Amino acid sequence: MEERKISAAVIRRLPRYFRYLSDLHEQQVERISSKQLSELMGLTASQIRQDLNNFGEFGLQGYGYNVNYLRDEIRKVLGMDKINNMVLVGLGNLGQAILRYNGFAGKGFIFRAAFDRNPTRIGTEIGDLRIRNINELNEYLDSHDVDIVVLTVPKGAAQDIVDSLGERNLGIWNFASMDLVGRPGLTIENVHLSESLMRLSYCLKHERKMDE
Amino acid sequence: MEERKISAAVIRRLPRYFRYLSDLHEQQVERISSKQLSELMGLTASQIRQDLNNFGEFGLQGYGYNVNYLRDEIRKVLGMDKINNMVLVGLGNLGQAILRYNGFAGKGFIFRAAFDRNPTRIGTEIGDLRIRNINELNEYLDSHDVDIVVLTVPKGAAQDIVDSLGERNLGIWNFASMDLVGRPGLTIENVHLSESLMRLSYCLKHERKMDE
């Protein structure tokens, strides 16, 4: 599939397309028009055609989109046509919940190891994984193929862990409530839950809807 | 504080301003120039001045911003100058983690009750809260002042719960992996964790950085 330089707004929408197409696929829908998809997703049909045209010619006049084909192509674009190996650091409440959540594995995001610094947690098991000592993280990364490090540690600890990762190419899925200082080779995606809650509070107070 | 019609992009950044100003306040910094703040936050100084000018005249030429005052004003804009009462529905792993997370209460977002449909969970306690039967949700909302309903239920259950809320004005903080059909009076903020992970996967594959 050919690709042009894709705007951040389109990238933000892509996983949502994938989710809708996956739901349609599950419901055994084989094809869908941009108009039908637009009504489902609350976008305009022309927005959808424009978004998807970034990745090639998918729709056929009078036929619409082949759901399965389009879903597969978006899966590839998203880098989900392979297994993404993950490790998690920080087994507090949120870390344990993320590790136990079974919605990621089905999409090819698999937890391979989990690390903590708390001696009372090290050696215990969550699901299939034995919690390892955080000191072993680098050794583990040397000897295993890891794509993504999930950080569910307090904000005071997150940057030190990132700095300790050396020159490796990694994705960092950061739940710590701070902005990490990156470096070439690191790809950082932040999930700032408190900020999401504050946006809700803003919209509630001002009777405002957030646009996509 | 006077307010103009604020763009969604500015609203998205506001909680981040609040976070940085809170950190500065904690570090007992009393004032900061837009240049210093811009270096901290990775925005341009003119972007910061433009964003904050939406809410009034804060900066003084040659003095900069009064950290405490600006933080207080943003807190008001965000609707955080009052207690936001919350209830949580769905005590799976994620729901339990969110309920136990102690970073929200300090910002005035307080959990008052928690609900589940699973009889083995009803009556048990998490922290200070006894888990209630989901059937009691509407009765609870009738007799208590609730601002926000946090939905940590499977996607198959989320819409039914929203539909059962009647005509009430509420914020919905939705963790279910689906888009809720709203109605006037409901303010919905979605946290789609899987989509965040897919964006990371995209950026990792394409060596792409997401812009703010």
The SS3 call for residue A190 is strand
H or E segment at B188? strand B186-190
Residue A14 near residue A90 (C-beta atoms within 8 A): no
CA distance B60 to chain A (A): 26
Residues 6+ apart with CB under 8 A from A118: A91
Q: If you ran DSSP here, which 8-state letter would residue A175 be given?
A: -
**Cβ–Cβ contact A168 with B under 8 A:** no
Rounded to the nearest angstrom, the gap between the alpha carbon of residue B71 and the centroid of all alpha carbons in its chain is 16
Query: What is the predicted pLDDT for the residue at A16?
Result: 95
ipTM rounded to 2 decimals: 0.93
Q: Could you tell me what percent of chain A has a pLDDT over 90?
A: 76
Chain A residues with CB under 8 Å of B77 CB are 202
Q: Which of A171, A174, A165, A167 is nearest to A137 (CA)?
A: A165
| Sign, Cα dihedral of A151, A154, A155, A156 | negative
Query: What is the predicted pLDDT for the residue at B181?
Result: 87
CA distance A2 to chain B (A): 13
Total Cβ atoms within 10 A of residue A118: 13
Query: What is the predicted pLDDT for the residue at A5?
Result: 75
Average pLDDT over residues B32-51: 92
Average pLDDT over residues B17-21: 96
Nearest CA in chain B to A191: B196
Alpha-carbon gap, residue B163 to B207, rounded angstroms: 42
Query: What is the predicted pLDDT for the residue at A4?
Result: 59
Query: What is the predicted pLDDT for the residue at A40?
Result: 93
**Cβ–Cβ contact B22 with A under 8 A:** no
- Average pLDDT value over all residues in chain A: 91
Query: What is the predicted pLDDT for the residue at A56?
Result: 76
How many C-alpha atoms does A53 have within 13 Å on its Cβ side? 8
Total Cβ atoms within 10 A of residue B109: 22
Counted residue by residue, chain B has a size of: 212
Query: What is the predicted pLDDT for the residue at B212?
Result: 43
pLDDT digits (tens, 9 = 90+) for B131-152: 999 999 999 999 999 999 999 9
Chain A residues with CB under 8 Å of B15 CB are 192, 194-196, 198-199, 202
pLDDT digits (tens, 9 = 90+) for A181-196: 888 899 999 999 999 9
Chain B residues with CB under 8 Å of A80 CB are 198, 201
Q: Does residue A1 carry a pLDDT above 50?
A: no
Chain A residues with CB under 8 Å of B111 CB are none
Q: pTM of the entire structure? A: 0.91
Q: Does residue B201 carry a pLDDT above 50?
A: yes
